[in-house]
Amino acid sequence: MKTETERKYLVEPALFDLKGIPHRLIEAGYYHESKAACPVAIRVTMNSRGVARICFKVGSGLSRTEVERDIEIPEATELLRWAPGRILKVRYSWDGWDVDQFLNQHDGLWLAEYEDEKAPTELPGWIDREVTGNPQYENSYLAFNPTPNPHLFDDEIPF
């Protein structure tokens, strides 16, 4: 098991240049909303290796415990089929950043994740604001609910 320390930000996509950034399609199925004690996610990542992973996360906010394992594609496909909550996104990754462009029911939502206890010393110009700890921006929440209105959650970050 490992502890994942991750900060999450809303992205202003008009200011984000995608040219030359490595990316991959991710389909994820969720069995419980983020309110659950242990959200379970099945992720199928479409890249040259065709990786499938099963993931258990415990906790919320800045740091949480995570267990992740590779599983066979046929198993993942079957588990995805039964998952009541789903998301589809394109992930762009570089220099410690993962930027997710959500598709389908969340088209237009962009979130960035930075895995480190400390916030970056200087945020890129395409960052709108931090939403770390806001459960309405957790993937496990988004899989079961509509896209949040970012203007409804302008309170302080709860950590």
Question: Catalytic residue among 9, 30, 114, 141, which?
Answer: 30
Q: Is the dihedral of CA 16, 124, 51, 81 positive or negative?
A: negative
Query: How many other CB atoms sit within 10 Å of the CB of residue 133?
Result: 16
Q: Which residue has tokens 């906010």?
A: 61
CA-CA distances (angstroms) from residue 32 to 85, 120, 121, 153? 8, 31, 35, 23
Give every CB contact of residue 133 below 8 A, 6+ residues apart in sequence: 60, 61, 62, 157, 158, 159
137 labelled catalytic: no
Query: What are the catalytic residues?
Result: 30
